[in-house]
A and B are shown apart, each in its own frame.
Chain A
Amino acid sequence: MQHLLYDIVHVTDYDYQGAVSVSHHLLRLEPRQTSRQRCLQHEFRIFPEPTVVTSHGDYFGNRAHFIAVERPHGSLSITSRARVAVSPAFLPDTSETPAWEMVRARCRVDRTWAALEANEYTHASPLVPTSPEFADYALGSFTRSRPIFEALSDLMTRLQADFRFDPTATTVSTPLADFHRNRRGVCQDFAHFLIACLRSIGLPARYVSGYLETDPPPGLPKLRGVDASHAWVSLFCPGIGWIDADPTNGCYASLRHLSIGWGRDYGDIAPVRGVLIGGTQQILRVSVDVTALPPAEESGPTMDTDSPADAGSADASGQ
């Protein structure tokens, strides 16, 4: 199979209490081009119509859209639609990868562009502190001279055993140390924790925001992270590049992982960030649909996706 095609519909609805007189939002929703992914089409439908829509490439190379609604509004609906083609990710034989200490050393001393870029991701960032505790957890897998991706696989296996996926355990603002202590959380916590472990031992790891196709093929276990954006981790190794790994599901990125973009942590690549003037409270509803398109030559019914319970809101957003 060369590649797979997906349609993504990501709807973000805000209902405000009390009119918002002006709102500014920064959107990071357009899937970026990567070595294994092409974004073929992307469009926004935004209601009410923004006064300003403009886009720029951000510091990390993601596409960011700035929108401003400059008249009173009681709600805001942002629909992002994308068609994406994904090819299989390159996965090295993990036992053949370099010793992890070598990667750490290279990222410290190399001054190539790639190494400098990686250096950026070896430091603590606003949502991902580094600490001896995280390092200790990592060193349980990153034993002496162990091939870096073998160690990563082992670390993810331990994470799967030690931590539980639990959407009720954390919120966007839960500190990472709490997740470490309580051992429950969502994909964002899993990703931040894995990044913290890797950076605490000096390895370059970044946070990837994206989607996961969730319709389980027969016989395979159902993956978690349904019904919303997903997040995972990318680890750099000189000579190999960045390899995506999904700690929530304990696997490497597959054809079902679709990237929007990346940064040091969630804060750099939050899908929607906004500042409101006026209004008192807001109710947020998000729905995400990822639909695999049938290969062109085959005919047959489209595979059903696991639509989220509240995704029946297709009426909104000025279709």
Chain B
Amino acid sequence: MLETPQASALIRPAGMRRTTGGLPAPHDECFGEDGRPRTQWASMIEAIERLGPSRLSARWDEGLRIIREHGVTYNVYGDPQGRDRPWSLDPVPLILSAAEWRILEAGLAQRSRLLNLILRDLYLGTQRLLVDGFLPPELVYSNPGFLRPCRGLPVAGQVLLHLYGADLVRSEDGGWRCFADRTQSASGAGYAHENRKVVSRVLPDEIREVSVRSPSPFFRNLRSILESLAPMGRENPVMVLLTPGPLNATYFEHAYLARHLGIPLVEGADLTVRDLRVCLKTLAGLQPVDVILRRVDDSFCDPLELRAESVLGVPGLVQAARAGHVTLANALGSGLLESPAFLAFLPAVCRHLLNEELMLPSLPTWWCGEAEGLRYVTGHLERLVVKPAFGRRRGRIWFGHQLSTADKARLLDLIAARPQEFVAQECVLPSSAPVWTPAGFERRSVLLRAYVATDGADHAVLPGGLARVAASEDDPLVSMQGGAGSKDTWVLRSGDDDHEEALAAAPAQGTSDRRLTGLPSRAADSLFWLGRYTERLEQRLRVLRCVLGQLASDTSPETSGLDDRLGHLVAGIGLLPLGPDSTPARAVAPAGDTEGHDPEAPPSDLSARVLDWVYRFDGPGSIPDLMGRIRQNAAAVRDRLSGDTWQILDRLVPHPEVPLARRSIAHALGLVQGLILNLAAFNGLAMENMTRGPGWRFLDCGRRLERGFSMTALMTAAAFVHGAPTPLLEMILDIADSGMTHRQRYFASAGWDGVVEVLVRDVSNPRALAFQLSALRNHLEALQDEFRVGVDDRWSALVEGIQGRLRSSGSNPAPPEPEGFDRHALIALMETCAQGLAGLSDDLTHRYFSHTHPRVS
């Protein structure tokens, strides 16, 4: 409550905390100079006081849970732990008043118009800005962002900059300044949208109470704008979002935006240029693409005409654009204006091109490539921040006031050697906002990235944007890569806004007609391998569980000799090698399904090696390796997996830190059991939640193939193990989860005939080899019908052949062995089946997933 003394208040004014080098104090986002809350913040501060720390904490735990559930992540480059780091969000939004936003909105729209005019002059026009001296030629000609092959490419509606992002900072005087223009492919709008989703579930009443503008109309506008860009005004254009792939920092957002805009998420390898048209490779054939919303940097988009080493692009894309057959948003070459050096010239260029003053000014910026700028920078280093002029991402940023004398001299030398590569900006202390931490509220620097979408005529500004907060109280840099967090941004509603938003929302309603239905080949490939790897992991875990169970229960392995046979069995299926005693298990990678093995060598200290496998082994085929492959393939089809499915995958964590002392057979058993249940949940979700389209079929094909392989390996390994069969056969039934089936049918202890019947021939047992073959056959026939890939019934013949062999092996019992069973016939049959399955897998891959990467010559 406002009346309560400030000592008990959760959020307090920043006060005079910072005293850095006599710089003015930063602007306080929520409190005025008088220490009273700013109007737009009053009700939020009241609400937080009302909640109190414990209830706020509890509510925010809910928010963090939603973030994890939605799988909102951000990848940090060069950090082994950095893949898929959970998105960092603060519960308290940044709040802007309607009046302030109106001014910002106009300024953002003006910048968007201005930057587009500059791009138009440099890429389409006569470069009057250089001739007339408004921009130094060096700024363009020595700029790696100026893509010469893109000059003169036809551009729909003369618009090159469709989606623009502005990085804003509020300086000490309370005014917003733009310190960087994002013209390449501004990231973060999707995160901003997701932030709103999370915060609105944590603070639902507060949002309603103050009436916050919704981000949704902006995204509907964005979709309509993209549609309007189709070459030659094509109706219902085919649109795609081009991503660099799951390793990119903001891949979550790419998948999120694609799903939200209702357009496929594709990688460069999914596209190909045929007859000067960009086409999407789908299972149904090549589908021409009209509009590409790109999140791949322009210079990486075409190895033929741009960066030859790029594997993210599409060879021939520039030529397709030149032919006017595809529109890219933003246009290729637009990244040029990300060079901060342009900021130094915008005020004059704005007056010249628009006959207006720049409404949203840039942070004062000097380019050292100009004599005047160079003079100023060398003379005022201590109050400047020096950056690479051409926006090279890895360039160092120098804070003048923190430099030692030696560093200052070094920087001056660097500038003197290549002045055009440096730019300096006035050092401001960003405004501060409260950030909730486990220790209560802290003050952090805050920056805002705002977004404008345009078709050239109208400008849609995302109300709010992505607010980013520094990683710590004293961190001057707010970088997502450096660990910064984010905030939702609330723009309060005024009377006029309702009307505008209703208008904006209207036209996009009936545009859900989507021509593109084909499943991209790469997605099919990933689903297939997702099926294979999850099944492979499950199979491994089942064997481990069985072995661990035996080790836990069997108190005298020497007497039963079971330990020995167990060792042979797990070695036979390639789970553990039968290594010489001194060799640690990990030294020999149990890679393949049918690893060569020496059945004569005795296993040694089985339990130690099994534990090593569970807790430490990370070579090919290990738990972490398979989990990595599962994640990789799942990530590639992220836009096709439900949130629940993703959550399950998120729970697959390899090698949790378990202290040595706690490692035991019993503990490992629990660990393995937990993973098996998670995989079961994943399989269940896939069965229940995926429509029975081609995507599901490929996923299931992968699973069936893998299960078939496992069964052949298991049966082969068992047949190689000599000695009394019953306990071993029971273990095999257990591994295959078919002990119950067997008991119900035979009411007896396991014998070879019964086991072969249940695990190999039984078409009704979902674990049996015959079941896999029959399921595969169904899938293949359905896929052939759907895609009319010739009328080749080779697959059916193959499957039928295998099934036939199984039947005949049953009807012609071979000469009885001691146990009355012909192991050699079984081994030979399993070998045939494995080969047939391998051929099937190759054929499937060859037929549907041909997506080799291009090579540059």
Contacts and interface: CB of A to CB of B under 8 A. Distances in A.
B852 A278 contact: yes
Interface size class of B (residues with CB under 8 A): 35 or more
Contacts of B316: 24, 66, 68, 275
B392 to A, nearest CB: 14
A142 B323 CA distance: 46
Interface string B320-354: 00110000000000000000000000000000000
Contact of B149 (A22, A51, A58, A274): A58
B322 A56 contact: yes
Interface in A269-295: 273-279, 282, 284
Contacts of A119: 137-138, 141
A287 B855 CA distance: 24
A277 B852 contact: yes
A51 B273 CA distance: 12
Given A52-B276, A56-B322, A111-B130, A275 B855 contact: yes
Interface in B114-146: 127, 130-133, 137-138, 141-142
B417 interface: yes
Which of the listed residues A59, A122, A268, A282 has the most CB atoms from chain B within 10 Å of its own CB?
A59
A274 B131 contact: no
Interface string B296-310: 000000011100100
Given A51-B275, A58-B149, A123 B854 contact: no
B50 interface: no
A274 B855 CA distance: 8
Contacts of B854: 275-277
Interface residues of A, number: 35
Nearest to A56: B322
Interface in A23-62: 24-26, 51-52, 54, 56, 58-60
A116 B315 contact: no
A120 interface: yes
Contacts, number: 87
A58 B323 CA distance: 14
Interface string A1-40: 0000000000000100000011011100000000000000
B68 interface: no
A111 B131 contact: yes
B148 A268 contact: yes
Contacts of A218: none
A52 B850 CA distance: 22
Contacts of B148: 58-60, 268
Contact of A26 (B133, B137, B305): B305
B824 interface: no
B195 to A, nearest CB: 40
Contacts of B130: 111, 116
A68 B273 CA distance: 9
A70 interface: yes
A120 B719 CA distance: 76
B274 interface: yes
Contacts of B276: 52, 54, 68
Nearest to B315: A275
B545 to A, nearest CB: 43
Contacts of A284: 857
Contacts of B417: 132
A122 B420 CA distance: 13
Contact of A274 (B132, B137, B856): B856
Contacts of B110: none
B12 interface: no
A277 B127 contact: no
A276 B130 CA distance: 38
Interface string B362-389: 0000000000000000000000000000
Contact of A111 (B133, B138, B850, B852): B133
B223 interface: no
Nearest to B304: A275
B127 A116 contact: yes
Interface string B816-855: 0000000000000000000000000000000000101111
A70 B274 CA distance: 7
Contacts of A282: 857
Nearest to A76: B857
Given A14-B857, A24-B319, A275-B857, A59 B137 contact: no
B508 to A, nearest CB: 36
A124 B418 CA distance: 11
Contacts of A275: 303-304, 315-316, 854-857
A56 B150 CA distance: 12
A274 B142 contact: no
B319 A274 contact: no
Contacts of A276: 854-857
A24 B315 contact: yes
B136 to A, nearest CB: 9
Contacts of A14: 857
Nearest to A121: B141
Contacts of A56: 322
B151 interface: yes
Contacts of A51: 274-275
A114 B570 CA distance: 78
B272 A274 contact: no
Those 8 A-B pairs whose CB atoms lie nearest each other, nearest first: A275-B315, A123-B142, A59-B148, A24-B316, A119-B137, A274-B857, A120-B141, A277-B854
11 contacts: A56-B322, A59-B148, A66-B316, A68-B273, A116-B131, A119-B138, A273-B304, A275-B304, A276-B854, A276-B856, A277-B272
Interface of A: 14, 21-22, 24-26, 51-52, 54, 56, 58-60, 66, 68, 70, 111, 113, 116, 119-120, 122-124, 132, 268, 273-279, 282, 284
Given A22-B272, A116-B131, A284-B857, 17 more contacts: A24-B304, A24-B316, A54-B276, A58-B149, A59-B151, A66-B316, A68-B274, A116-B130, A116-B137, A119-B137, A120-B141, A123-B141, A273-B308, A273-B856, A274-B857, A275-B316, A277-B853
